[in-house]
Chain A
Amino acid sequence: MATRPDTLQGSLPLLILTILDRRGPLHGYAITGQIQSLSDALRVEEGSLYPALHRMEEAGWIKARTIVTEHNRRARAYEITSAGRRHLGIEEARWRSITDAVNYVLKHA
């Protein structure tokens, strides 16, 4: 049976993949922190982060492993996979083309 990625809504996966791609393996809380520190405008609803992470894990874009933090606490860290990088490329291009188009309309309409 082929794995069928469940529909991912919004841009959260794009953000997660970008951050994991640039910053390397991070746990969920760190991902929230990263997004918030980069942009005040984008506020991740924390509860929806984990379902998104698990969906992405299932789609094979990221993989999880258990790490031990500096405070000696077990946590699940997520890491981007090569499939995830391919998907990131596609999503990024799609995002750009849409924003470009919207910008164009905003400017010229």
Chain B
Amino acid sequence: MSWLSRLVNVFRSSDVDRVLDEEIAFHIESRAADLVREGLPRDAAEALARRQFGNRLQRREESRDVRLMPWVDALVRDLTLAARSLRHSPMFATVAILTLALGIGVNTAILSIVNSVLLRPLPYSRSAQLMYLNTQLPAYGFSDFWVSVAEYLEFRQFNNSFAEVGAFTTGEANLVMGDRSLRVRSASVDTPLLNALGVQPIQGRLFSRDETGLNSLSGPSLPGGVVLSPAVVVISYELWQSVFGGGPVVGRSVDVDGRRLQIVGIMARGTDLLENHTEIWLPLGFSEEDLRERDNHGLTLIGRLKETVTRASAQSELDALMVSWAERAHITPGSGHPSHVFRPLSAGRDAHILQMTPLMDRILGRANRSIWVLQAAVVLVLLMACANVANLLLGRAETRQHEFALIRALGASRGRLVSRSIVEGLMISLVGGAIGLILARPAIAALLRAFPDSLPRINHVTLDVPVLLWSFVIAAVCGIGIGLVPMLQLHRGETFTLTSGMRGTVRMSRHRLRRSFVIVETAVAVMVVASAALLVRTVDNLTLVDAGFNRSHLATFSITLPPSSFDLLGRVHLYQALLDQIRSKPGVQAATAMTGLPLERTLDASQTEIDNYAATSGPPIPSIDYYQRVMSGYFETMGIPMVRGRGFRSSDAVSDTKVAIVNETLANTYWRGLNPIGQRLRPWIPGNDQNPWFTVIGVARDVKQAGVDQPVGSEIYLLVDQLATGSPTTWVAISPTTMNVVVRATVPWTTLAPMITRVVHDLDSTVPVANLRGMDDVFAESIRRPRLLARLLALFSGLALLLAAIGTYGVLAYSVAERRHEIGVRLALGAKPVRVLRQVMRQGLAPAVTGVGIGLAAVLVLGRLLTSLLFAVQPTDVTTLSMALGSIVGIAALASWFPAWRASRLDPNTILRSE
């Protein structure tokens, strides 16, 4: 009979019973019939037949026993025994189960992050075929640059590897519905992009071929040569639910950036582009002029590889294209717009390449490393938890020596003892695991609330079936592991004896085992605590970075005045009116506005003519990384000191001489050794060949632009107020549509918030206030990921320290209890309590110190895996590591001190008398 049918028997015993009953009934009937044939009366025959068969019920039981799996029976017996033995020592059971619940719970939580962020495929069909394409300009230090319209369309034509390549840009837009206005995240996409991704609407349609791409744009032309894309919009499922309440919207019109757009479709739930959090999808169009400006890079591409094409072959085609591109596009490489073309890396300073990364890798970025570090930390914590519980079990196994010896003497096999022990381990770990799972769910929710967007895809983290299965496997492995540990002694050939004590080597080998647990635990704790300390130092360093301005007591928000609703001068006047009103409010010390918010800026990288620049070492074509257009009072409000020259004055606003301020990096890059004051530069303005020259009047201190951990790029400051006074042809495109307002106040930003919202609403009710927060929040958000890492690692290292303390304490307390007699004798013979204390302490600290040594070695070897996550601290940083080691030795000392103190206070009389 197969094991399966045996197992089935367990659950179908009534069927088995029926078959047996029938069989026995048949036997008795046949016998009775034979007896009747021999001449007995019927009833006497039946009675005799039954008597001859013997005890019918008992036989049935015997027969049934055979058919049920003996090991199921044994398992049930083991489970009952384990449950009983755990019930009998509730303290032990509670400590063991809670320890593992914590260990398994944190693993489940981190595993769900690993699963949802790193392992789950992107929500597009066959997403492994999707590639992200961007460009590199090594001479300018740009490794993650955009693609121009010409480059994009040529690539679509030249390549043979991609089934489809599409382009997109991302941004923000004002959405007005009745009297409500809000800022939404937008993505402008062309039809090939939608096809490449394979996304579908759940209602309505997406964009048609002629609504996007070249020649999809039309008038009426706005001042500044702005042309309009078709008046259609697709909204995200999420926006449909939150703003439109899930009602019928397809076909309705909505006001986006001052234009009436028709909602033609609703995107499927959860559809996004990279991590844009897209709320509205707009058609992306290009003009003939865009096509001519070969060096105006603004697009990002996503392509879908053909089914038969591998990444490697696509890459080699791409490499070959870089070499032959100029020839195929009929372009002679040189300087200036028309001759801008891809050149391979071998072209040195003229190199400009298109590069490809799997979309998934692009989205994950460097988050990979962070998540694996967290996973490693929780595995280490779990290891410690298991070591602790195994240690507890070992201690119990010793006290249960007599019980085991009895069981053995009564004939139980060694295998039975081992299986009993494993079942006990499994019971602890599975109950602990179940509690861990219950804890993991709210822990994940709390984590998502505290650190939204700190990792890519983290807002979609869920505890799903694969994670549950993995957690179960982990719990089972832990259970078997800790169950086997007490049996290790058994397999060393140790015999259980029925005598009352154990002497000599047995005890020593047990001690070695327990001490080695403490060593391993301490070593592991060192690794966890050291990584946490390094990350905490990193966050400290990031917080202490001087961003170049005084960020305390600053509130900030942004407003967008779309070109369709405001003309150029109207925008400037509204900004000025807004600032005047805010400045007059109580509690406000100063207010200003600028185009780019420090720490959150994206690269402008605009070609700029610069006087007296000889391109010998710097970029071949002078290019300024950041254009900052500011309102009056900018440097004063932000607290940015001038290094040379002066800041903007109110008289500059009406002066005929166009003035500019540059940062130190720009002055050092382009006018090394020259006096920057009085130098001239000519900023690039799209669609304008006759740009005015600007004269430098001051050099401002460097301000961080893209993040506290990022290097400072070259920056130019232009005064919006001055641009508004010139003739329309000169300020034409420099009047910004989006401004970030900063307010320095004596009151917190939360107090200012109602006033700001009211002032903006009164000026124009269609303009939403976006991203209103304190400047401190801007800083906090910019270091969200290292903070998440540091917090979690600090939490895990707290657990690790606790477990290490419990482990050290447990082993020592046990050993003291065991040596009570010996210590009593020594005290009776006149040993000083201090000496006993010192000796026990030494015994406790010795394995801890060995563990610290091993852990330190591991940190020195593995520490470089952390390097990319650290800022301004080396993984071998002496101060940080000594602090980590010190805390562990301190904890071990504390954990040893208590049992040592108790040992030294033993009363020899009581002990000796009790023996």
Q: Mark B54-68, 1 if CB is under 8 A from A, else 0.
A: 111011001100110
Q: Indicate if the CB atoms of A54 and B67 lie closer than 8 Å.
A: yes
Question: Chain B: how many interface residues by the 8 Å CB criterion?
Answer: 27
Among B23-31, B246-254, B369-377, B881-889, the stretch that binds chain A is: B23-31
Say yes or no: is B19 at the interface (Cβ < 8 Å to chain A): yes
| CB proximity to A under 8 Å, residues B337-387 | none
Please, which residues of chain A bring their CB within 8 A of the CB of B816? none
Q: With A51-B62, A54-B63, A54-B67 given, is the CB distance from A1 to B24 under 8 Å?
A: no
Say yes or no: is B20 at the interface (Cβ < 8 Å to chain A): yes
- Of the candidates A58, A73, A75, the one whose C-beta lies within 8 Å of that of B66 is A58
Q: Mark B448-489, 1 if CB is under 8 A from A, else 0.
A: 000000000000000000000000000000000000000000
Say yes or no: is A95 at the interface (Cβ < 8 Å to chain B): no
Q: Indicate if the CB atoms of B59 and A50 lie closer than 8 Å.
A: yes
Q: Indicate if the CB atoms of B27 and A46 lie closer than 8 Å.
A: yes
Please, which residues of chain B bring their CB within 8 A of the CB of A58? 1, 6, 66-67
- Of the candidates B20, B52, B58, B66, the one whose C-beta lies within 8 Å of that of A46 is B52
Tell me the smallest distance from the CB of B34 to a CB of chain A, in Å: 8
Tell me the smallest distance from the CB of A69 to a CB of chain B, in Å: 8
Give CA–CA (A1, B71) in the complex, Å. Answer: 11
Q: Indicate if the CB atoms of A75 and B23 lie closer than 8 Å.
A: yes
Please, which residues of chain A bring their CB within 8 A of the CB of B52? 46
Please, which residues of chain B bring their CB within 8 A of the CB of A50? 20, 23-24, 27, 59, 63
Give CA–CA (A6, B67) in the complex, Å. Answer: 10
Q: Indicate if the CB atoms of A74 and B62 lie closer than 8 Å.
A: no
| CB proximity to B under 8 Å, residues A55-97 | 55, 57-58, 60, 73-76
Q: Mark B1-33, 1 if CB is under 8 A from A, else 0.
A: 111001000000000000110111011011100
Q: Indicate if the CB atoms of A29 and B30 lie closer than 8 Å.
A: yes
Give CA–CA (A46, B23) in the complex, Å. Answer: 12
Closest to B61 in A: A51
Say yes or no: is A45 at the interface (Cβ < 8 Å to chain B): yes
Question: Chain A: interface residue count, which band?
Answer: 20 to 34
Please, which residues of chain B bring their CB within 8 A of the CB of A10? none
Say yes or no: is B53 at the interface (Cβ < 8 Å to chain A): yes
Give the residue among B22, B30, B31 with the most A Cβ atoms within 10 A: B30
Tell me the smallest distance from the CB of A19 to a CB of chain B, in Å: 16
Give CA–CA (A51, B59) in the complex, Å. Answer: 7
Give CA–CA (A94, B352) in the complex, Å. Answer: 89
Please, which residues of chain A bring their CB within 8 A of the CB of B66? 6, 51, 54-55, 58
Q: Indicate if the CB atoms of A46 and B54 lie closer than 8 Å.
A: yes
Give CA–CA (A60, B6) in the complex, Å. Answer: 13
Please, which residues of chain A bring their CB within 8 A of the CB of B59? 47-48, 50-51
- Of the candidates A3, A45, A73, the one whose C-beta lies within 8 Å of that of B54 is A45
Q: Indicate if the CB atoms of A60 and B63 lie closer than 8 Å.
A: no
Tell me the smallest distance from the CB of B565 to a CB of chain A, in Å: 77
Closest to A73 in B: B26
Please, which residues of chain B bring their CB within 8 A of the CB of A57? 1
Q: Indicate if the CB atoms of B26 and A47 lie closer than 8 Å.
A: no
Please, which residues of chain B bring their CB within 8 A of the CB of A47? 53-56, 58-59
Give CA–CA (A50, B24) in the complex, Å. Answer: 8
Give CA–CA (A103, B56) in the complex, Å. Answer: 38
Q: Indicate if the CB atoms of A28 and B22 lie closer than 8 Å.
A: no
Give CA–CA (A55, B24) in the complex, Å. Answer: 16
Closest to B16 in A: A54
Give the residue among A1, A47, A75, A76 with the most B Cβ atoms within 10 A: A47
Q: With A29-B27, A54-B63, A55-B66 given, is the CB distance from A1 to B3 under 8 Å?
A: yes
| CB proximity to A under 8 Å, residues B619-654 | none
Please, which residues of chain A bring their CB within 8 A of the CB of B19? 76
Q: Indicate if the CB atoms of A27 and B20 lie closer than 8 Å.
A: no
Please, which residues of chain B bring their CB within 8 A of the CB of A60? 1
Please, which residues of chain A bring their CB within 8 A of the CB of B29? 73
Tell me the smallest distance from the CB of A2 to a CB of chain B, in Å: 9
Q: Indicate if the CB atoms of B26 and A27 lie closer than 8 Å.
A: yes
Q: Indicate if the CB atoms of B31 and A3 lie closer than 8 Å.
A: no
Give CA–CA (A57, B16) in the complex, Å. Answer: 13
Tell me the smallest distance from the CB of A90 to a CB of chain B, in Å: 21
Please, which residues of chain B bring their CB within 8 A of the CB of A73? 26, 29
Please, which residues of chain A bring their CB within 8 A of the CB of B63? 50-51, 54
Tell me the smallest distance from the CB of A45 to a CB of chain B, in Å: 7
Q: Indicate if the CB atoms of A75 and B26 lie closer than 8 Å.
A: yes
Please, which residues of chain B bring their CB within 8 A of the CB of A75? 23, 26
Tell me the smallest distance from the CB of A63 to a CB of chain B, in Å: 9
Q: Indicate if the CB atoms of A28 and B23 lie closer than 8 Å.
A: yes
Give CA–CA (A74, B22) in the complex, Å. Answer: 8
Give CA–CA (A74, B53) in the complex, Å. Answer: 19
Tell me the smallest distance from the CB of A56 to a CB of chain B, in Å: 10
Please, which residues of chain A bring their CB within 8 A of the CB of B1? 3, 57-58, 60
Please, which residues of chain B bring their CB within 8 A of the CB of A74? 22, 26
Give CA–CA (A60, B3) in the complex, Å. Answer: 12
Please, which residues of chain A bring their CB within 8 A of the CB of B56? 47
Give CA–CA (A6, B71) in the complex, Å. Answer: 12
Please, which residues of chain A bring their CB within 8 A of the CB of B62? 48, 51
Give CA–CA (A28, B56) in the complex, Å. Answer: 15
| CB proximity to A under 8 Å, residues B32-80 | 52-56, 58-59, 62-63, 66-67, 70-71
Give CA–CA (A13, B905) in the complex, Å. Answer: 71
Give CA–CA (A32, B30) in the complex, Å. Answer: 11
Closest to B31 in A: A29
Closest to A57 in B: B1
Please, which residues of chain B bring their CB within 8 A of the CB of A27? 26
Give CA–CA (A29, B52) in the complex, Å. Answer: 12
Provide 13 A-B residue pairs closer than 8 Å at the C-beta atoms, listed in order of the A residue.
Answer: A27-B26, A29-B30, A29-B31, A46-B52, A47-B53, A50-B24, A50-B59, A51-B66, A54-B63, A58-B67, A73-B29, A74-B22, A76-B22
B residues near A (Cβ < 8 Å) are: 1-3, 6, 19-20, 22-24, 26-27, 29-31, 52-56, 58-59, 62-63, 66-67, 70-71
Given A29-B26, A57-B1, A58-B6; 6 other pairs, CB 8 A cutoff: A27-B26, A29-B30, A47-B55, A47-B59, A73-B26, A76-B19
Top 5 nearest A-B pairs by Cβ distance?
A47-B54, A47-B59, A29-B30, A1-B3, A51-B62
